[in-house]
Amino acid sequence: MPSPDPLLLGEKRKLSLLARDLLEWAGREGRDFPWRAPGTSVYERIAVEVLLQRTTATAVARFYESFFSRFDSWETLSTARAEDLETFLKPLGLWRRRAASLLGLAGYAAGTGGLFPSNPTMHAGIPAVGQYVSNAVLLFQHGIASPLLDVNMARVIERFLRPRKLVDIRYDPWLQDAAAWYAKGGDAVTRNWAMLDFAALVCKARSPLCQTCPVSARCRYFRSTATATCSLSVESSS
């Protein structure tokens, strides 16, 4: 059965061009974080995605060394007492939620040698593995092109193409297809990081830097904003 709101061929082309342009931009302007360094373990890259939820990457970068020095593997993390982990995580906020998620993941991973299933349908029974963490597992452990789709990536895609129809990004089929298309076709890890950097530095939630944006020529949001500005200027001068 076809999707009720399919990703159009023209939108696929625009996303492929967007990926090309953002990779070029990120090569010059992308951020440098410890979990992006060559040789970073799969454990660190998956665990850090839990730390990054509803927290800035800059805050996690400051916390990174102390956390992974103390909890250097799933096995070590799995033996932590919930109260101790919560106290340790307090500087990041949402410490009870993060601690529960990390302990759930660690409890599972410690029993499997750190290996998660490559089939996402098998992730449903794993504690703390929702859609986002599932995609992180596929991306970082199994090399499967999957999008790290959060509100920031969703904002860029929607501004560039068109708004989604459903409130929850996890269930909007068009947005899911668009994010998946963006991630495939090359180095999916670098594509994801480029998009997230672009969302943080240029296509910001408030006061986006549209005038200096490297992809504004093909951006729906920029065109609509420019049109509205021109209309206001004409009305003011008449």
Written as one string, the DSSP assignment of 200-219 is HHTS-SSS--GGG-TTGGG-
What is the CA 177 to chain-centroid distance, rounded?
15
What is the average pLDDT across 120-128?
Answer: 94
**pLDDT > 60? residue 213:** yes
Q: What is the identity of the amino acid at 86?
A: E
Place of tokens 């990779």: 23
Neighbours of 173 (CB within 10 A): 15
Question: What's the DSSP call for residue 8?
Answer: P
Q: HSE (CB half, 13 Å, CA atoms) of 94?
A: 13
Q: What is the pTM of this model?
A: 0.90
What is the average pLDDT across 158-162?
Answer: 97
**pLDDT > 70? residue 3:** no
CA–CA distance, 101 with 34 (Å, rounded to integer): 22
* Predicted confidence (pLDDT) per residue in 161-204, tens digit: 999 999 999 999 999 999 999 999 889 999 999 999 999 999 99
- Domains of the chain, start order: 9-207 (1.10.340.30)
What is the average pLDDT across 88-113?
Answer: 95
